[in-house]
Amino acid sequence: MTEGQFFFAFDGSAHMEFTEFVLAASTATLGEEPAARTHADILEYRLDLASDGVDALAAYDGVLPLLVTNRTEREGGEAADGPARLGVLETAIKQPSVAAVDVELAAIRDGGAERVVDHARERDVAVVVSTHDFERTPDRERMRALLRAGADHGDVAKLAVTAQNRGDVLDLLAVTDELSPTAPVATMAMGEPGRHSRVVAPLYGSCLGYAPVDPADATAPGQYGLERFRHLVDRLRGR
């Protein structure tokens, strides 16, 4: 673990802050946590990909705090949308090792995910409000609107877009640079043209990045492996 931006409250729960860049190691297996400790600040547990599901959280004894995600099919995951998916997140939040939860902006706007956000607030669990576009990079005004809406509902507004060219990446970085002083934002451009944005975006204010412990287990197009991601980010930031 690197920057250590979490602490344990008196009730044993983990509290996560995003005042500096946080690197999440994405996994569907909590047993990978020891391999992630050296380079990650938090472990993203992909409930939609996990064979053990939410039951594995009760037995988790790792050092890294957890960010739980149960991604919908329409935003690149494998969980069927609906009340049951959100119920899994509500159950996960009850575990003291869970410091943050990912909720899609679309699910909040549909009305079903507000209870997950409220439940997270009650337990001092940070809320990442995410939007994914697997087809394109919206124009700057649209990206601003999505990030501002995410910030209105959560602690971090996450936007992952698909870059077709370097101009798309420049647009994303410009919006990140503009909005990051006013709210915690996490941005990245998926796909090969945008791959470098994952390690460059923190220089423009992106506060959260993702990488698989094993590069072969990437959960989104263009992800770096965890060790390489940390090395590149630290080098760019002069560490």
| pLDDT tens string 134-170 | 999 999 999 999 999 999 999 999 999 999 999 999 9
Mean pLDDT of 186-201: 95
Query: Cα 123 to chain center, whole Å?
Result: 19
Contact 1, 40 (CB under 8 A): yes
Mean pLDDT of 15-33: 92
Is residue 160 a contact partner of residue 71, using CB atoms and an 8 Å limit? no
Residue 157 lies in a domain: yes
Within-domain flag for 226: yes
155 lies in some domain: yes
Domain-located, residue 193: yes
Q: Specify if 3 maps to a domain.
A: no
Residues tagged active-site: 132, 158
Percent of the chain with pLDDT over 70: 93
In a domain, 162, yes or no: yes
pLDDT at 53 over 70: yes
Mean pLDDT of 13-25: 84
DSSP 24: E
Asked if residue 4 is part of any domain, the answer here is: no
> What pLDDT digit, counting tens, does each position of 184-193 carry?
999 999 989 9
Q: If pLDDT is split at 50, 70 and 90, which confidence band does 14 have?
A: low
pLDDT at 15 over 70: no
pLDDT digits (tens, 9 = 90+) for 85-141: 999 999 999 999 999 999 999 999 998 899 999 999 999 999 999 999 999 999 999
The residue among 110, 111, 89, 108 whose CA lies nearest residue 100 is 89
The partner residues of 66 in beta bridges, in order of sequence, read: 43, 98
- Is residue 69's pLDDT more than 50? yes
42-59: average pLDDT:
95
Q: What is the pLDDT of residue 220?
A: 72
Q: How many domains does the chain have?
A: 1
pLDDT score at 1: 46
Contacts of 137 (CB under 8 A, 6+ apart): 143, 161, 162, 163, 164, 168, 169, 171, 172, 189, 194
pTM greater than 0.85: yes
| pLDDT given at position 111 | 85
Q: Does the pLDDT of residue 65 top 80, yes or no?
A: yes
Q: Is 5 helix (H, G, I), strand (E, B) or coil?
A: coil
- The arithmetic mean of pLDDT across residues 179-205, rounded, is 96
Answer yes or no: is 2 within a domain: no
* Structural domain boundaries, residue 33: 15-236
CATH no. for residue 124? 3.20.20.70
